[in-house]
Structure 1
């Protein structure tokens, strides 16, 4: 029997997209012959993943795994919304979210994490082969607090911990955890609806601040520099009210007219301690992915050898 090395398994995985354990089995069955192993995997229907890896995957699910003071949020994409309703795919997303909770935010580290007899990467490749669509683990975030809670909200939920928009909000407080969870969920719902850029102006990326200043300067070209500086300062305050979580007006009726920061301060009486919004994460399914636009009628006509009117 040939000596099957890790390099041989890696090479076969890259050529076929099949799972690690399947590649190892194929090499054992074919005495280390790579080409024969590829054929073996094709016959078993396990090399489909590679053929589908170039197709756009912009559907899928957001998954959350939350255990109080630590929570993970992931985006796992598929090609169609139909697959997102598949029990196998939903189970995969939950598995990935749990792996992220244990492993951290790095996508490659998550894919290398142990899952049964293989890895998360193997599980994804196996799901691709079984379900027949391209799937990708796109991103992950993990939030933690030393004392407090991670509030969570999923919009368009399709099951426990699964939805189309997911939000985590880290609240630091020594107060009542039940009250904190309720507050965290309210803030998470607000984040889902408003999609803030950052917690406050200090957290806004420097390039975004620079762009806003440049726009204001261009609008007020010709005015003295000190005047433009004051206009920019005022403009950034307005930007913060629209785009920074703590400065935004709460969407909830019980906090009508109050900013999120004011609502949090007001809640401290119920919580029984001071509350700090430490961080948040918001994942909306497929955001930023350029989806392929298809003309179904034209596609059918082309296949039939006809021209679309």
Structure 2
């Protein structure tokens, strides 16, 4: 039988119900790490079911750095206006604004990065890998492009408050907590002196 402190800790980290947390801990005989994985997998399944739902509501969040030289606006969408006013949703929006301010992503997802930038990056990586055997050249460039996407695509970035999860993981966890589909629609980042 799972102890109360582990149940509450698991609930706090995942947003899952008490019964779901207790059952996960019981299933793995109290192993917190394994229980966390079970809850995460269930959250991913819940999020996948909600993925096709329309997200026509939401909020615009902003972040202005204390020196006044950096600002961010993010549009975070959800299914209902009720959820858009929810504390969990608003905290997620705030976290995403801070993420954009801190990490300078180029786009929300891979497909949003302009093709000419991708081609430019591939040329740079091709130059760097010049002289390598042809059979591994493609793997090198593919690996470097994956790293580029992890750095420049918001959903693939490591979350600044917890580098064990990506922004996509954070989104999925919040979809499971809230029970509605949530999408990062767009963002803009302004910094004095940058075009």
Q: Matched residues in 2 for 1:242 and 1:199: separation?
A: 11
TM-score by length of 2: 0.62
**3-state DSSP of counterpart to 1:257:** strand
Distance of 2:58 and 2:125 partners within structure 1: 40
1:258 aligns with 2:192: no
Residue 271 to residue 150, structure 1, CA distance change in 2 (3 Å)? farther
Q: CA deviation at 1:223?
A: 4.2
Residue 155 in 1 paired to residue 65 in 2?
Answer: yes
Structure with greater Cα Rg: 1
The count of corresponding residues between Structure 1 and Structure 2 is: 137
Pairing 1:276-295 to 2, within 5 Å after superposition? 276-288=183-195
Contact map agreement 2:56 2:79 (CA 8 A) in 1: no
**Are 1:150 and 1:181, in contact at CA under 8 Å, matched by a contact in 2?**
no
Find the counterpart in structure 1 of residue 77 from structure 2.
Answer: 172
2:78 and 2:96 map into 1 onto residues whose CA distance is: 15
CA contact (8 A) 1:154 1:165 kept: yes
1:271 matched to 2:178? The reply is yes
Matching residue of 2:56? 146
Contact 1:151 1:182 (C-alpha < 8 Å) held by counterparts? no
| CA displacement at 1:246 relative to structure 2 | 0.8
Q: Which has the higher helix share?
A: 2
1:166 aligned counterpart, secondary structure: strand
What does residue 10 of structure 1 align with? Answer: none
Quote the Cα distance in structure 2 between the aligned partners of 1:285 and 1:222: 41
Segments ≥4 residues shifted beyond 4 Å: 223-226
The superposition leaves residues 187-233 of structure 1 with CA deviations (integer Å, 9 ceiling, x where unpaired) of 00111011111112222222321222112212222445563233222
Q: State whether residues 213 and 232 of structure 1, in contact with CA within 8 Å, keep that contact through their aligned partners in structure 2.
A: yes
Q: Give 5+ residue unaligned stretches, structure 1.
A: 1-144, 158-162, 289-309
Q: 1:203 maps to which residue?
A: 112
My pick for the range that moved more, 221-230 or 186-195, is 221-230
- Tell me how far apart the structure 2 counterparts of residues 149 and 226 of structure 1 sit (CA, whole Å): 48
Shift of 1:256: 4.1
1:249 to 155, 158, 164: 158
Give distance in 1, aligned partners of 2:180 and 2:132: 49
Change (3 A) 1:286 1:149: same
Cα displacement (A) at 1:247: 0.8
State the Cα distance separating 1:164 from its structure 2 match: 2.4
What is the DSSP-based 3-state SS (H/G/I as helix, E as strand, rest coil) of the residue aligned with 2:75? strand
